[in-house]
Chains A and B, each alone.
Chain A
């Protein structure tokens, strides 16, 4: 048993050392596999980055209330009476003065200019109530200050500043005929709120002619468990009958569509390309075996078994594939990881996100590379094992 193992190690070593003889062919296999891995990983990183941005945005301690069946904030509408009723609802946390930590909000779409394409893009302008920023725990102003109540002032997420032009601190932005001054830039811990523009709710209502019009309400819950109480309260009152969700749930629903779509595009492409690379790998390994006929026959003649010839070839193929996989993963990491871009999300507004690789994704890609190596090596390995000693020694 031990000698068999030693034989396999010896033959594998000989094979690996002979790779330089087929340098260009081996290199093309490695690069082909690296490209497959890059294509797969960039799609997966895109999908993952988008999902993380949205999923990370939702808190379990915040409830979002929407009109029944409206699915996205942009479609929702709530009346002042409903807001008033909701503010008295059970389950909502209160500040020391006894006021509910709730924020009625208006979610409008305004135009911004996307830097990447220099074209108009939909940006969300959110009119938030006094408690709006406090309800979301991860908001930090990194430049400037919060807007003053009653003023035409906006604070913008840092994603807005980086991806869209004209939102630097102190600049004035026109939405229709009303001018707004950027007074602050906030960090929202990589969440979707970094792609939003915030202003004082009453100012937005009046300048956009939406007086007494609300779309959603966000409220901080006493604890995640009190969401049920809020739901029951809404279901029990015929004037409400609203959709009450935790913010985490709301964003998870929104994330799934786009992120699934990107994945559904990425995997078939990568598998198709993997088949192409597989043809390359098979080619390389068959040539390797063909070039080694005499060598294999010689080894067999001096007492090596069939298995070392088989495993030697397989190991060579797997090493080339692993090398390709690692190069591909490294290249994707260096080129694409953290790459910032934006696309239309479920709310019909731009969501700024970063390509995000994770060890799990890299593992998936390396497995794909190894599968190519395994299949690409196994058939040539069988041929190597079957090389007849006499014919092999005569050369072909």
Chain B
């Protein structure tokens, strides 16, 4: 009769009570898993940001355009290795409700700058540069609408219209790209700036924003100051920041998601801490006489302590691990439907590790008081108490 056997027997001595406690732990860790995954996916933009990538936008606001000439002027700045530009197209497919992220880009430089995140194959690069009306579609987006290479799809804009009338551009899908890093989402489409620029009815020769790669992250500061100084007092002043800072500021616009997640998860944990903690105290008190018997049989105080802590930790692990498992399953189910909002929702290994640490902490906290009480219990008193 080893300790594990005793722990197991004690744990399930009142089956219903054990399952109820496991149930509430299960739910708390389910909530933790999903919300932590949500927050992580939400902040993925900061993780995927390369340290040597900067973003230059109009100083008024990033939705204001910049003159096309800035592209070449920034390219000439010392410390800048590569520059590309991109434009928000305001895209949708067929119905305005089917919002899609479409960017009009300069093909060669764009694919160079994002070559570490997205897998642009040589054939894709060639085909995209060659076809003026060509478009590359991310795997997630292509799957969503069932698009294949060779398809000609009409993409509409809720901002721009064609010189020839109408707001639909027909593009040829010349490639479907995958991501190289899991946090990078592929729920978007890129097409040629030249094609877009020559056919749109207004905003000609303006670009949305510039993305540049510096010689090294150490050069970031100097490069961004040089660029912003270069355009100071012009009609379109610029603001250059690291990609990470830019993404962070953008997410902060939505609200303090991290705080909301922390509050909800804390509420869930406080709940189980109280429920399980109190139940453990009660469960051990009911066993006072038994503990007296164990002590009389020669079980040491520390061993009793280990038995009870083992019980509460086992409880937390059974409930917690199954909760995380269901969260992981739920995240894969939700991933597709939430892809536009939080791409790449998943219970990642680090969330799992934090979860296990939390389970052990929970197990220790809920078992500590009854375990200490039991350890200190005098055998005679315990046997005397009914």
Interface residues of A (CB under 8 A from B): 24-25, 27-29, 31-32, 35-36, 38-39, 69-72, 74-75, 77, 108-111, 114, 116-117, 119-122, 175-177, 208-209, 261, 269, 272-273, 275-277, 279-280, 282-283, 286-287, 341-344, 348, 350
Candidates A32, A72, A176; contact of B58 at CB < 8 Å: A176
B255–A341 touching, CB < 8 Å: yes
Cβ-defined contact, A279 with B252, below 8 A: no
Q: What is the CA–CA distance of A277 and B63 in the complex, to the nearest angstrom?
A: 46
In this assembly, does B59 line the interface, its C-beta being within 8 Å of a C-beta of chain A? yes
A117 & B256 in contact (Cβ 8 Å cutoff)? yes
Contact assessment for B253 and A273 in the assembled complex, using a CB-CB cutoff below 8 Å = no
Is B354 part of the binding interface, using a Cβ–Cβ cutoff of 8 Å? Answer: no
A273 contacts B249, C-beta separation under 8 Å: no
Query: In the complex, are the beta carbons of B249 and A120 less than 8 A apart?
Result: yes
Chain A neighbourhood of B249, CB < 8 A: 117, 119-121
Give the distance in Å from the alpha carbon of A286 to the alpha carbon of B29 in the complex.
24
Chain A hits for B271, CB < 8 A: 31-32, 35-36, 273, 276-277, 280
Question: Could you tell me the distance between the alpha carbons of A260 and B90 in the complex, rounded to whole angstroms?
Answer: 22
B257-290 vs A: 1/0 string, CB under 8 Å? 0000000100110111011011101100000000
With known contacts A176-B237, A269-B31, A276-B24, A117–B60 Cβ distance under 8 A: no
Contact partners of B37 in chain A: CB under 8 A:
none
Q: What is the CA–CA distance of A272 and B279 in the complex, to the nearest angstrom?
A: 21
Q: Mark B163-176, 1 if CB is under 8 A from A, else 0.
A: 00001000000000
Measured between beta carbons, the chain A residues less than 8 angstroms from B156 are 69
- By the criterion CB–CB under 8 Å, are A25 and B278 in contact? yes
Segment from B13-21, B100-108, B125-133, B222-230 that makes contact with A: B13-21
Contact yes or no, A122 B253, CB < 8 A: yes
**Given that A117-B252, A344-B253 are known contacts, is A175 also in contact with B60, CB under 8 Å in the complex?**
yes
Q: Is the interface of B mostly helix, strand, loop or mixed?
A: helix
The reply to whether B253 and A121 form a contact with Cβ atoms under 8 Å apart is yes
Kindly provide the distance from the CB of A252 to the nearest chain B CB, expressed in whole angstroms. Answer: 16
B32-65: which have CB < 8 Å to A? Answer: 58-61, 63-64
Closest 9 CB pairs of A and B: A28-B274, A280-B275, A279-B24, A276-B27, A119-B249, A117-B252, A176-B60, A276-B24, A279-B23
- Asked whether any CB of chain A lies closer than 8 Å to the CB of B293, the reply is no
Chain B's nearest CB lies how many Å from the CB of A324?
Answer: 11
CA distance A111 to B253 in the complex (A): 11
Given the complex, which residues of B lie within 8 Å of A32, measured CB to CB? 271, 274-275
Interface residues on B, range: 35 or more
Question: Is there a chain A Cβ closer than 8 Å to B69's Cβ?
Answer: no
B248: Cβ under 8 A from any A Cβ: yes
Specify which chain B residues have a CB less than 8 angstroms from the CB of A77 in the assembled complex: 202
Determine whether the beta carbon of B158 is less than 8 Å from that of A71: yes
Determine if A273 and B275 form an interchain contact, defined as CB atoms under 8 angstroms apart.
no
Contact A39 B63 (CB under 8 A): no
Cα A350 to Cα B63 with chains together (Å): 14
Q: Is the CB of A276 within 8 A of B202?
A: no
Q: List 15 A-B contacts (CB under 8 A).
A: A24-B278, A28-B278, A35-B267, A38-B267, A75-B90, A117-B256, A261-B341, A269-B31, A273-B268, A273-B271, A275-B24, A279-B27, A280-B20, A287-B17, A344-B253
Interface residue? B72 (CB, 8 A): no
Besides A39-B264, A279-B24, A341-B256, 16 other A-B contacts (C-beta < 8 A): A24-B281, A29-B275, A32-B275, A70-B159, A71-B158, A110-B60, A111-B60, A114-B253, A119-B253, A121-B252, A176-B60, A177-B233, A272-B27, A279-B27, A343-B254, A350-B253
With a cutoff of 8 Å between Cβ atoms, the chain B residues found around residue A176 in the complex are: 58-60, 64, 235-237
Task: Known contacts A276-B24, A279-B24, A344-B253; decide if A69 and B96 are in contact (CB<8 Å).
Answer: yes
Q: How far is the CB of B238 from chain A (nearest CB, A)?
A: 10
Are B63 and A348 closer than 8 Å at their CB atoms?
yes
A8 to B31, CA, bound (A): 39
Q: Which residues of chain B are near A348, meaning CB under 8 Å?
A: 63
**Closest approach, in angstroms, between the C-beta of B256 and any C-beta of chain A?**
7
**Contact assessment for A269 and B253 in the assembled complex, using a CB-CB cutoff below 8 Å:** no
Nearest chain B CB to A239 CB, angstrom units: 13
A119 interface neighbour in B28, B30, B248, B281, Cβ under 8 Å: B248
Q: Do A272 and B23 form a contact, CB below 8 Å, given A176-B60, A176-B237, A287-B282?
A: no
- Give complex CA distance A285, B158 in Å: 58
Residues of B within 8 Å of A31, CB to CB, are 270-271, 274
Q: Are A209 and B253 in contact (CB under 8 A)?
A: no
**Of residues A36, A117, A350, which shows the largest number of chain B Cβ atoms within 10 Å of its Cβ?**
A117
The winner among B31, B60, B272 for most chain A CB atoms within 10 A is B60
Cα–Cα, bound, A277→B274 (Å): 10
CA distance A305 to B23 in the complex (A): 34
